[in-house]
Chain A
């Protein structure tokens, strides 16, 4: 498991505990465990925005497929946009979550090198967004709720992507999802990169895992453009206010889903369970609303975003 710079002290303590255990030094184990608990508490209760970004991008963080495998007790994968290709940066499943028939559509970064390349590191092409929309429209037809799992650095910037209409594909999803006639829930599980994330995120309930980020531009891109200095990533991260906590305070997301104390990558099971509970709870609430009211609420939510002076 990759260790982040701010986790070093925690890891040292864990190693010392192992050593003490081997030596059968019970008093030392107890003292160290107390210290470890304190250290974890201290570190994770005062994370900087940049440290949260590091957690959001942690190489061992659970991906969409990890979550899907843990929350869907029955499932079949669906493929393709029916026009051009099957973009593997987007995965889609139909099946059951907690006994409820549902569709799950997620952005998948891939795990090992081969898988990452196959999935283009989770950066979808237009056909990926069209695949997501095709399957969301099928869900609408059969009145199945949709859960979107967002995890991408952004929509892919490439020649083919432009030739096939990356802009149109994203725009079309925003337009269509704003009116999809079923309850929709999105969860940012890692990185929510700009339009490429929003294309799966126009929904009734938009939540973020505690240590995920959602941003109009990558802090690296922002630093390069506005500061003219790639090294100002920490400043850009702070200025952009991209963490779940900051965005909730600004009223730009609906909910935060809790993570295990030391981050989602330490405990997939608990993370997945939290997402599942959130989905089932929100689905219950949203299913109780008449369709017209559901759509009106979604419409009003999006029309209210924005801060300006004047009437």
Chain B
């Protein structure tokens, strides 16, 4: 269930935000595209629809109505309860992640509107320690669930993670049980939970909240599974089938509800929430909502 297993595999060149005028090569089809064009297409390749990885901020910008996002629990930080040191100390790894993302956590959580519908949202960022699940991430998810219950809203979790964070050992492992218990509570309140699986979703994240969605959506081509391809290959000593563990493979095997292009995601997810919450179609009622009045964009 390790996560950095995938780090090596997934260290693909990422588009650099700082250079919007540069060209970008698609790792799937090799086409060279103008970065602005890729960006306009929601960070997908205009030639082959390859979905580039995006970070948590971009994801929120893409899914949540402009100016409606309010971040919660930003002040939660990892504690390093085991004083974990491998080749580097956990503390050092946290600092490195902080420099990369400006956060000390692999998730941003908060409240916002998706086409007018107020929801609780938790988004993983693979750039912070491989999007791994530790105590802070687990707590943020539980608090988002509690807010959803209190405000009678739906929950959206966007996963991108290698799994449980080894540096917190059993503390991390138990976050799987913690988040699943909290989701059981959300289910008892009959509030909808939509799980969006993005590249990559593995290990302890995959084997807990990510696969407990009332509706589970995969992004095209995303790698999703319990064990990583390298571990499976080693264990069984055989080649893996074409397309193994991609969203489309999971759809074919009945494990997820749909594969949705990034540019369709916002409409699809907001429509699904509207059906599950029985919100009237296109009426200002759910657009007004009764919360998320703080409209200062954050994150």
Residues of A within 8 A of B (CB): 154-159, 161-168, 170-172, 174-176, 178-179, 194-195, 198-199, 201-202, 214-217, 221-222, 225-228, 235-236, 239-242, 247, 250, 252, 298-299, 302-303, 305-311
Tell me, in angstroms, the Cα distance from A172 to B181 when the chains sit together: 11
| Partner among B81, B86, B204, B225 whose Cβ is within 8 Å of the Cβ of A239 | B86
- Docked-complex contact B177 and A310, CB < 8 angstroms: no
- Docked-complex contact B177 and A216, CB < 8 angstroms: no
On whether A241 and B82 interact (CB within 8 A), knowing A198-B177, A215-B170, A306-B178, the answer reads yes
Can you list 6 contacts pairing A with B, beta carbon distance less than 8 Å?
Answer: A157-B232, A159-B244, A195-B203, A225-B4, A302-B174, A307-B135
Q: Which residues of A contact B177 (CB under 8 A)?
A: 174, 178, 198, 201-202, 302, 305
Residue B291 interfacial (CB < 8 Å): no
| Partner among A164, A175, A247, A309 whose Cβ is within 8 Å of the Cβ of B76 | A309
Tell me, in angstroms, the Cα distance from A26 to B22 when the chains sit together: 89
- Docked-complex contact A222 and B174, CB < 8 angstroms: no
Given contacts A168-B211, A306-B178, A309-B78, 12 further A-B contacts (CB under 8 A): A166-B226, A167-B207, A171-B210, A178-B180, A198-B173, A217-B1, A239-B82, A239-B85, A303-B142, A305-B135, A306-B139, A308-B135
Tell me, in angstroms, the Cα distance from A170 to B77 when the chains sit together: 28
Q: Which residues of B contact A252 (CB under 8 A)?
A: 170-171, 174
On whether A309 and B5 interact (CB within 8 A), knowing A155-B226, A162-B244, the answer reads no
Tell me the minimal C-beta distance from B225 to chain A in angstroms.
Answer: 5
- Docked-complex contact A165 and B181, CB < 8 angstroms: no
Nearest to B4 among chain A residues (CB) is: A225
Q: Which of B205-253 contact A (CB under 8 A)?
A: 206-212, 224-228, 231-232, 235-236, 240-241, 244-245, 253
| Partner among B174, B178, B180 whose Cβ is within 8 Å of the Cβ of A171 | B180
- Docked-complex contact B170 and A299, CB < 8 angstroms: no
Q: Which residues of B contact A217 (CB under 8 A)?
A: 1-2, 164, 166
On whether A195 and B207 interact (CB within 8 A), knowing A221-B2, A308-B139, the answer reads yes
Q: Which residues of B contact A216 (CB under 8 A)?
A: 1, 164, 166, 168-170, 172-173, 204
On whether A305 and B226 interact (CB within 8 A), knowing A157-B232, A159-B236, A174-B208, the answer reads no
Choose the segment among B95-103, B119-127, B149-157, B182-190 that binds chain A (4+ C-beta atoms closer than 8 Å).
B182-190
On whether A307 and B174 interact (CB within 8 A), knowing A157-B232, A167-B210, A171-B208, the answer reads no
Residue B175 interfacial (CB < 8 Å): yes
- Docked-complex contact B169 and A240, CB < 8 angstroms: yes
User: Which 6 residue pairs across A and B have the least CB separation, nearest first?
Assistant: A157-B227, A306-B135, A174-B180, A226-B86, A166-B226, A178-B181
On whether A250 and B85 interact (CB within 8 A), knowing A167-B225, A217-B2, the answer reads no
Tell me the minimal C-beta distance from A153 to chain B in angstroms.
Answer: 11
- Docked-complex contact A157 and B226, CB < 8 angstroms: yes
- Docked-complex contact B208 and A225, CB < 8 angstroms: no
Tell me, in angstroms, the Cα distance from A172 to B187 when the chains sit together: 13
Q: Which residues of A contact B240 (CB under 8 A)?
A: 159
On whether A241 and B169 interact (CB within 8 A), knowing A161-B226, A162-B225, A198-B176, the answer reads yes
Tell me, in angstroms, the Cα distance from A199 to B86 when the chains sit together: 28
Tell me the minimal C-beta distance from B12 to chain A in angstroms.
Answer: 19
On whether A242 and B169 interact (CB within 8 A), knowing A158-B232, A252-B174, A306-B139, the answer reads yes
Residue B84 interfacial (CB < 8 Å): yes
Tell me, in angstroms, the Cα distance from A15 to B241 when the chains sit together: 55
Tell me, in angstroms, the Cα distance from A235 to B166 when the chains sit together: 13
Tell me the minimal C-beta distance from A193 to chain B in angstroms.
Answer: 9
Nearest to A239 among chain B residues (CB) is: B84
On whether A194 and B208 interact (CB within 8 A), knowing A154-B1, A308-B136, A310-B75, the answer reads no
Q: Which residues of B contact A176 (CB under 8 A)?
A: 184
Q: Which residues of B contact A170 (CB under 8 A)?
A: 207-208, 226
Q: Which residues of B contact A305 (CB under 8 A)?
A: 135, 138, 171, 174-175, 177-178
Q: Which residues of A contact B164 (CB under 8 A)?
A: 194-195, 216-217
Tell me the minimal C-beta distance from B201 to chain A in angstroms.
Answer: 9
Tell me the minimal C-beta distance from B157 to chain A in angstroms.
Answer: 12
Residue B79 interfacial (CB < 8 Å): yes
- Docked-complex contact A303 and B226, CB < 8 angstroms: no
Residue B40 interfacial (CB < 8 Å): no
Tell me the minimal C-beta distance from A224 to chain B in angstroms.
Answer: 8
Residue B255 interfacial (CB < 8 Å): yes
Residue B87 interfacial (CB < 8 Å): yes
Tell me, in angstroms, the Cα distance from A237 to B76 when the chains sit together: 28
Nearest to B236 among chain A residues (CB) is: A158
Q: Which residues of A contact B85 (CB under 8 A)?
A: 239
Q: Which residues of A contact B77 (CB under 8 A)?
A: 308-310
- Docked-complex contact A171 and B169, CB < 8 angstroms: no
Tell me, in angstroms, the Cα distance from A163 to B249 when the chains sit together: 8
Q: Which residues of A contact B142 (CB under 8 A)?
A: 303
Tell me, in angstroms, the Cα distance from A176 to B183 when the chains sit together: 10
Tell me, in angstroms, the Cα distance from A161 to B236 when the chains sit together: 12
Tell me, in angstroms, the Cα distance from A166 to B228 when the chains sit together: 12
Tell me, in angstroms, the Cα distance from A228 to B4 when the chains sit together: 11
Q: Which residues of B contact A221 (CB under 8 A)?
A: 1-2, 5, 231
Tell me, in angstroms, the Cα distance from A199 to B208 when the chains sit together: 10
Tell me, in angstroms, the Cα distance from A222 to B253 when the chains sit together: 31
Tell me, in angstroms, the Cα distance from A163 to B255 when the chains sit together: 8
Nearest to B253 among chain A residues (CB) is: A163
- Docked-complex contact B255 and A168, CB < 8 angstroms: yes
- Docked-complex contact B86 and A167, CB < 8 angstroms: no
On whether A175 and B232 interact (CB within 8 A), knowing A166-B207, A226-B4, the answer reads no
- Docked-complex contact A202 and B181, CB < 8 angstroms: yes
